[in-house]
Structure 1
Amino acid sequence: MQALLDAIAHMPLPTDAQRIFHGRGGRHPGCEQWTLDAYPPVYVLTSFLPAGEDTETQLATVGAALAARCEQLAPGQPLNWVFQCRNEQLRTQGRTETRLMAGAVPEPHAVTEHGLTFKVHVLRGQNHGLFLDMAEGRRWVDAFAAARSTDRYGLKVLNLFAYTCAFSVVALQAGARQVVNVDMSHGAIAVGQQNHQLNGLTTGASFLAHDIFSSWGKITRSGPYGLVIVDPPSYQKGSFVATKDYARLMRRLPDLLAPGGHALLCLNAPELGVGFLQEQMQELAPELQFVERVANPAAFADVDPERALKVLVYAAPNL
């Protein structure tokens, strides 16, 4: 795990939420199981392999490295860090094993990204409330919403699979007029509402805790939209399976988008490459034109871009 230890030894003091080390990208042989994230003031170390006989020794080594670096960066400040084991067996069961290794986790726990504040939870579940790999996607939305903020009728955004509504916060802060957030999880939507409040956003957002596939009538009536964001889970039993359900979303896009509107399509499934999205879009919504693939954050570099997070932009024709 030397590459992980080297990353810790050279990391700056994180202020925003961010990934510190991405072994999952395959660029550090022997460290593929490890990731290290900063949710200030807490570090989260994750292993994607089952705990072995040497796990405790490895954790002690990482803990010592974190303590040494944090003492250099912020002398006298406590070290707060969490370990999560997220191996394949646990993930298929929707479970994780999470331990507080040192210090404490704030409650409530809020982090920042590019001046915005988001509520997170790092001691439970596989998802912590803010997907760090989507930082550049949020930056793209920020730029797009800002550029469209002077449009005659303002920018209306549809945020599908909104989770905790980070895209909505970004879009409204950048000048969007309205965002419709849709997610079947009442808990996630509730956190999304809190995220808007944390950023002083009291108008412009609506929140629908609905199954998207059962709510097309309501979703369509609120349109058309200048931006449709599609960020589903790659696999969620009983809810969404990318290989069969993504096509159902693509078919709807031409009717949801206003003339000149854009769609941001996201997919985090290592087994599905860019072609999975592009080929289906060509078949199911050929009138939408491919614009670009949004780059992932540098911290998430992968030896194979096809395995990494895919974020594609498409545009509807102008009138």
Structure 2
Amino acid sequence: MKHVTFKPVIGIVSPCYNEEQVLDETEKQLRNLIFDLVDRELISDKSFIVFIDDGSKDGTWDVIEKKAIKSVVVKGLKLAGNVGHQNALLAGLLTYNGDADALISIDADLQDDVRIIEEMIQKYKSGVDVVYGVRKERPTDTFFKRNSALLFYFLIKKMKSNMIPNHADYRLCSNRVITALSDFNEVNLFLRGIIPLIGFNKEIIYYDRLERLAGNSKFPFRKMLSFAWNGITSFSTVPLKLVSAIGFVIFIVCLFMSGYAFLAIFTGDTVPGWLSTVLPMYFLGGIQLFSIGIIGEYIGKIYAEVKQRPRYIIDKKID
């Protein structure tokens, strides 16, 4: 266990996509936080912040580049194209793992309260390898977003995943956790499921979710739905097992329907041919399409994994 006077090198990793409007304030708050923690001798003066530009279409990289050149604590990483939030975050974690004792990931919009970073570091200094930032409530979310999130966590729990409810990607990971993460070579990346899978000592810190400083959310409904589905299919085979279960249920239902149709023929209480033809056709056709879709999703993931294409390509790096 680490001694409490240990001054670790801490890296704050923040993926950015079209965050030009918010970066000035984000960099200011994180930089001031680093300086404050260094002055109070809680962390090493070699601690830093790294912003990862995930193929932004605005002036995000220009802002990052200027601040990285100007400030001793700011670093910049520019990816060759847009690879998505999870891959951009992974690029920052793996690239700077050797430069820090622990890395803290946080989104650039600063809806995650930076004031708990000090508590995260104290947990790490006491011997904890992973510290999860978990939101207490969702007061800024719409009714639909709040309840769809609850449904997602309910489903993911039923599928035997050890994912942390109401945790996004605000967390501290020690050097050995990131080193273990580097052994996960899967292309269908879902860090919120992988990090708990690694193990080691963990703690949870709860915080209140804040309003966005500026700009718009980069996760509209379509992307949130895609992200949730990717999380479910990347960490559970339950949907495939569900196909088998549905097939069994249909078999039982068809037995009862056959009995009903047989009786209806003798009672004359039916339109000839309708019950035995139209109803099963629509019912079975819909189930077949649903099942094929789920199987196709898994086949698509296998296809992506087999190709083993790089998850990100670094264009520029400013230290």
Q: What TM-score does the superposition give when structure 1 sets the normalisation length?
A: 0.29
Q: Determine which structure has the larger strand proportion and give its number.
A: 1
Relative to its length, the structure with more helix (as a share) is: 2
Higher Cα radius of gyration:
2
